[in-house]
Amino acid sequence: MEYLELLLKGLIVLFPFAFHWMLITYKWSFRKIEKELIKVLVTGAAGQIGYAILPMIARGVMLGPNQPVTLHLFDNIKQVDEALNGIKMELIDAAFPLLKGVIATTDIVEACKDVNIAVMLGGLLRKEGMERMDMMSKNMSIYMAQALALGKHATADCKVLVFAKPSNTNALILKEFAPSIPEKNIRCLTRLDYNRALNQIAKRLKVHASDVKNIIIWGNHSSTHHPDVNHATFTTKNGERLVREHVASDHWLKTEFINTVQHRGLAINKARKASSALSAASVACDHICDWVFRTPKGMWVSMGVCSDGSYGIKLGLIYSFPIKCENGKWSIVQGLKIDEFSRAKMEATAKELIEEASFAKSCLNEQ
């Protein structure tokens, strides 16, 4: 009887503490599933890649199926104002569970406010008869202005992915004019070239692209980039095999393969009368997903990043390298053997980037 009384008294004293503890654990368990909102800016959002990528981001393809997002849509041309609003209405109508808000604006400051990720599609496409240098100089002033706004208004660790061509050099300008954003966070997209190369090899070996890995895209996202298969492997029933040995044609690898990958964008443009959008949007999600989470074990991908001098590439150039990622951090894969053929191609594409950079500098000095 005495024991029972003691137990009862004990329970009465302990109950408020136990109840409080239960409340705290309950709240914590909710915090764990409710991830912090990520704000994603898409510039040039009224364009064709914008239209393809926005629903992918809202559906969790880029940042995972549990990640709530707010989308910031930016485009700068007056007549697109209405189009932007139309896209906003569509995004709302689709009722994506992860989409917590949409801002559609032609004001770059509002667009950049507190964004965590910036996907830079906005820019002028080269029209028929337009000089490449003309297109480059116009895009350079666009990137300078947007870099200033991003540097001032985005979050300090904002991750930036530049699409718009010339993408490596636009990223370089962004790096120069947004010094508050860590240079490690400024990238350009060469994943499309990488995935195209995987597919050409897969077709030749009669396997699926997902069985092939570790191709390298070196350099510029232009027709000078170099798809290198010297370290690439593919999966067979009997384990991993070297692509180069099984293709068994150096001639094909040095001619048709490289040429097809380098000019795939042009071929799509001819066929569609518009540049690639569906594939570009999809691989941009692959790029950011790998960057934020990780590249699978034993595998690398290609990304245009700021050169740290690896493989003899000029320091500071935005150049495509083999990259591994883990938990938001990335590194250039080191120590890969480079043959004479690849070395010459790597230098040629670096030379083009150096020329673009000095052209950019001269354009900016004139302003």
Ligand X SMILES: NC(=O)c1ccc[n+]([C@@H]2O[C@H](COP(=O)([O-])OP(=O)(O)OC[C@H]3O[C@@H](n4cnc5c(N)ncnc54)[C@H](O)[C@@H]3O)[C@@H](O)[C@H]2O)c1
Which residue of the set 72, 221, 226, 287 is catalytic? 221
Residues 175-194 that bind ligand X (CB under 6 A): 189, 192
* Nearest of 272, 241, 247, 353 to residue 306 by alpha carbon: 353
Query: CA-to-CA distance for 197 and 215, rounded, in angstroms?
Result: 7
Q: How far is the CB of 330 from ligand X (least distance, A)?
A: 18
Measured from the CB atom, the residue of 11 and 89 that comes closer to ligand X is 89
| 13 alpha carbon, distance to own chain's centre | 57
3-state secondary structure of 49: helix
Instruction: For residue 258, count other CB atoms closer than 10 A to its CB.
Output: 20
Measured from the CB atom, the residue of 91 and 280 that comes closer to ligand LMR is 280
φ, ψ at 105 (rounded to 5°): -150, 155
Torsion of CA 283, 40, 112, 363, to 10 degrees: 0
Q: Using the rule CB under 6 A, which residue among 38, 49, 61, 91 binds ligand X? A: 49
- Pattern of binders to ligand LMR over 136-175, x per CB under 6 A? -----------------------------x----------
Angle at 312 between CA 307 and CA 316, to 5 degrees: 25
Region of 21-29, 38-46, 97-105, 152-160 interacting with ligand X (CB under 6 A): 38-46
Query: CA-to-CA distance for 181 and 242, rounded, in angstroms?
Result: 39
226 is catalytic: no
3-state secondary structure of 256: helix
**Which tokens hold the place of 185?**
């966070």
Residues 267-326 that bind ligand X (CB under 6 A): 275-277, 280
Q: How far is the CB of 223 from ligand LMR (least distance, A)?
A: 9
| Number of chain positions touching ligand X (CB under 6 A) | 29
Give contact residues for ligand X (rule: CB under 6 A).
43-44, 46-50, 74-77, 80, 121-125, 142, 163-165, 167, 189, 192, 221, 275-277, 280
Binding residues for NAD(+): 44-50, 75, 139
Binding site for ligand LMR (CB under 6 A): 165, 192, 265, 268, 275-276
